[in-house]
Chains A and B, each alone.
Chain A
């Protein structure tokens, strides 16, 4: 007996499903649910811009209002992906301009965005509200001017850590005088000075402004004027935080900060003059997020500041904080969830600060809610890692960078296998892990066996043989992204676990031992993967088949081979042999 449940009701119910996973599950139930769901999905997330094409997306989801797209592989952040590799936004915008006239939100990560694209965005989507460009590149401040001038309902413009060609600060002055809808502006990555009076007026006329992250060019003396016009700010990023020491500047700052009763997040702090840090103390008790990763301030000043922030949940800081500062952190900030410690002198041969594994151990012991860690240091021991694992089984993200590649346990000179093994064994919810130090195949056995929830794994200068890679690919049930550099992993493990690659978003291997022949074989075996060889030495065919490729990027896709490849990328598939000859 068939009963029909009105579509409208189903649609109404589906509207409560926000997670893509749930929506995907729903669309698999039956054909009619698939149809209903696809017509009412408004938000799309594309984790790899080459996994699908704009046409396919538009065909399936005709009424989309928010799009999030990721482009280049993560190692592009460290210059491992050559310039001109791809991830161009334009084809997406040009297709969406025709099909999604009511698109409101575009969030991008590691895409190449041109001024042309930005202009097209600004002119095609009448109700455009949110533009987030995270680690993007390819555009200039002229493109920003188009957005400012044409997007009448813009709420959010966040340039995160993009590389913008800064032609001038004039773009900000393109926001029309009757433009009042701004809620969030992050221009911290820009170099040029914007017209301060234009900025002041903009801030004054946007009553809903909650996030304002200035760039370095805004001097500290000018901050009070902005803060006074936006006492409702929740997130604020200063510019250069330095000036000659004058009491009037100081007291203006104190007053201005005091007026901001809703401030929760602070960032900026380039060129910090420590004497000006206390100007913020009045707001520190409410602060939950502090980004001091540009603040070249010594440990005692950092400790003083941190001791004022008992509600701190997230701290990004330079290793100037040292072990002593981390000890203070662990005693003052019991709510801490995320800690990132960046190196002040990553290329120095000798340590320039007294920051060791001890600092991290102390924080892991003292901060019961700590779940996310990024830590650069110069020495580590298995004992420390085991302690951290036992202290903090609730860790979700653990990224450790021991600066010297293949550094052993400094106490025992052994590999750090058991230490990282303890991490994956105790931290059962671990989703992201970055390894470093001296590691043998053994650590991968631990990871493959225990890291059941692990989604992203980053490996560098580790392992002894294919066995290491095999352990990971044959275990790690939840693995989505695997990125490997400079490891002796080769053909056997890759070919033996080819099927695994279809369950993952992507695999990156550079400076490993994967031969061209194996890449060809993989491409032939797995038609639903794009197996791409990146090699700047010229066509792989011009070298023996056993020659290892420079870089390999493998990802699942429904869009077939890329059509926009540069001349140093080759797709391995059945036609590969034909095309390369």
Chain B
């Protein structure tokens, strides 16, 4: 076997071009992964993992709210230094730093800097989101949003193929629809392990205490509805 030929498969450069030459089956290959996340939308940190598997960095950068979010929110994880230097193509598993170290460093670094953008935007708070009836779960980074409305918009889009429509939580008439069981209600598990209705506490407190989200069928959320009704009445 001619090793020289193999050398052409430019091992040492992980440019996307190189990958494409090697792998013209890329478009047709079967991969597990979130839709639309080929690497094109990554902006600054282009992840060169051509087989589509997520390295840690990619997970962090992946703006799971696939539509609607400004590109400017990419600032979230990046320290100010990076904005001055050109984007670097990153290679999977290099440098060889273990994920738990990377996690820790990212959170602490952003915490210790004075960021003028959205408060509390240091680090990521990924929580699982399940929806009754959906075949698989999703994950969202709560720190990506600044209000319940933003979160609901995102969740609505994420699960749009499964829902008729996300409940307009602030709308009393929609809440009435809830009782018909045709709508969905967002609930979350807090630090104590209790299942709560989303929306009762201030947004920041919610981000801090939310461990996972579950979008319940209206019929199951009946018990939670009365409090929501009260709350609605208080607001209007």
Chain A residues in contact with chain B, CB under 8 A? 75, 77-80, 82-83, 161, 163, 167-168, 170, 189, 192-193, 270-271, 293-294, 296, 342-350, 352, 376, 401, 403, 405-406, 460-461, 465-466, 485-488, 490-492, 511-513, 515, 517-518, 536-538, 546, 548, 550
Contact = CB atoms under 8 A, between A and B. Distances in A.
Nearest to A489: B3
Contacts of B12: 405-406, 461, 486, 488
A572 to B, nearest CB: 15
B53 A492 contact: no
A209 B211 CA distance: 31
A460 B6 contact: no
Report the contact-size class of chain B (Cβ under 8 Å from the partner).
35 or more
16 contacts: A78-B93, A79-B55, A79-B56, A168-B191, A168-B192, A193-B191, A296-B108, A344-B109, A348-B79, A401-B95, A405-B12, A405-B94, A491-B1, A513-B6, A513-B9, A546-B6
B235 interface: no
Contacts of A546: 1, 5-6
A344 B14 CA distance: 24
B53 A82 contact: yes
B23 interface: yes
Interface of B: 1, 3, 5-7, 9, 11-12, 14, 23, 25, 29-31, 45, 51-53, 55-57, 79, 81-82, 85-86, 88, 90-102, 104-105, 108-109, 111-112, 191-193, 211
B193 to A, nearest CB: 5
Contact of A515 (B1, B79, B111): B1
B51 A550 contact: yes
B53 A349 contact: no
A422 B57 CA distance: 36
Contacts of A193: 191
A74 B156 CA distance: 41
Contacts of A350: 81, 85
**Chain B, interface SS category:** loop
A170 B53 contact: no
B3 to A, nearest CB: 5
A461 B90 CA distance: 14
Given A79-B56, A294-B104, A345 B109 contact: yes
B53 to A, nearest CB: 6
A296 B193 contact: no
**Chain A, interface SS category:** loop
A82, A486, A515: which has the most chain B beta carbons within 10 Å? A486
Contacts of A376: 95, 97
A193 B111 CA distance: 20
Nearest 4 A/B pairs, CB to CB:
A78-B93, A513-B6, A349-B85, A490-B3
Given A296-B108, A348-B81, A491 B101 contact: no
Nearest to A74: B96
B56 to A, nearest CB: 6
Nearest to B190: A168
Nearest to A166: B211
B93 A537 contact: no
Contact of A79 (B5, B9, B92): B92
A390 B104 CA distance: 36
A546 B45 CA distance: 33
Contacts of A349: 82, 85-86, 88
B101 to A, nearest CB: 6
Nearest to A344: B105
A369 B210 CA distance: 49
Contacts of B56: 79
Contacts of A296: 105, 108-109, 112
A401 B11 contact: no
B122 to A, nearest CB: 11
Given A78-B94, A348-B79, A460-B96, 8 more contacts: A78-B96, A344-B109, A347-B88, A350-B85, A460-B94, A490-B1, A517-B1, A536-B51
